[in-house]
Every structure is written in C-alpha cells, then in structure tokens.
Amino acid sequence: MNYTVTYLAYFTPIILTALVVILVIALRWFTHKERMGRIAQGVALEDQHKPGKNYKVALAAGLVLSLIGLALTIGLITLGIGPWLLAGLLPLFIGLAFILVSLILAPPKTKKEKEEKPEEDFKVEKEARAEPILESFRLDEEDEEEEEQEII
C-alpha cells in the first residue's frame, strides 16, 4: 500500500472529529461523576455554579476573539480576496457568536430595576437645580392677596 499525503488529507478531519467527540464524552463523564460525588456527600449543587458570571466570561472571550479576527481580516484583505481570508473571518464570526451567547445568558433585568433607574436620574436632576433661585421667584400667599387688593 502506498499511502500518500492525499490520503492523509482525507483522514485528518475524521480523526480530529473523533478525538473531539471522545474528549467531550470524557469531560461529560467526569462532570457526572463529580456531581454524583457531591450529591453523595450532601453538598448543595447550587454552590457549584454562580449565575451571572458565565455570560461575562463569554462576552470577554467574544470581544477578544472577534477583535483578533477583525485585525487578521483587515491584514489579509491587502492580499486580495481569496481563501486566506478565512483565517480572519472564522475567528471574527466565532467571537461574534460568543458575544451573542453572552447576551442570551445575561440575566434579565427585573421590572423593579428598570423602573427605579429613571426615578433616580430624575432625583439627581431635581437636586441639581438651585433651590434658592426658585424660591426667590415664588410669591407668598400674602403677597398675592396684597397684589389682588391693589389691582382692585
């Protein structure tokens, strides 16, 4: 049998895909064993995952990856349009996918939080106004009555 580089090009993606699948299955198996061990020891499962942190990690990874992809795309576009642009476009779109995942995983804001923020902004604006200036333009009730009597 004469194995040439051509056959290697056919089998490499298959072998790499099989290795990735084996890795994912092994990681899931170890996670399952760890979780069953925690349950057997009586440790609460909520302590394992902190909600609100995962989306920040995905956002940071997405920003870094998409900016690297954008820089590579800009650098490689000087060579012209061709298949070499994939070296920049792939990380760019993978980074954008991470950013999208972070937006999906972000905890939703409650109605209470949404309603409180504009009120706080209004309070700041109200406090920022100069009260003594406003007070100087106000008429007292006695002054209003005197002005009405003078007019009559």
- Same-domain pairing of 22 and 32: yes
pLDDT for 150 beyond 70: no
Q: What is the DSSP string of 47-66?
A: GT--TTTHHHHHHHHHHHHH
pLDDT of residue 65: 92
- Same-domain pairing of 76 and 44: no
Cα–Cα distance, 54 to 59 (Å, whole number): 9
What phi and psi, each to the nearest 5 degrees, are found at residue 138?
-80, 140
The answer to the question of residue 85 being in a domain is: yes
Q: What is the domain range of residue 21?
A: 1-48
pLDDT of residue 51: 55
Instruction: Give me the amino acid identity at 53.
Output: K
- Same-domain pairing of 61 and 37: no
- Same-domain pairing of 56 and 97: yes
CA atoms within 13 A on the CB side of 19: 6
pLDDT of residue 148: 59
pLDDT for 59 beyond 70: yes
Cα–Cα distance, 58 to 106 (Å, whole number): 10
pLDDT for 139 beyond 60: no
CA distances from 126 to 24, 89, 114, 118, 121 (A): 57, 50, 19, 12, 9
- Same-domain pairing of 78 and 107: yes
pLDDT for 44 beyond 60: yes
pLDDT of residue 140: 56
Neighbours of 7 (CB within 10 A): 11
For residue range 62-120, list pLDDT tens digits in order. 899 999 999 998 988 888 888 888 888 899 999 999 888 888 887 777 776 666 665 55
For the chain, give the percent of residues with pLDDT over 70.
62
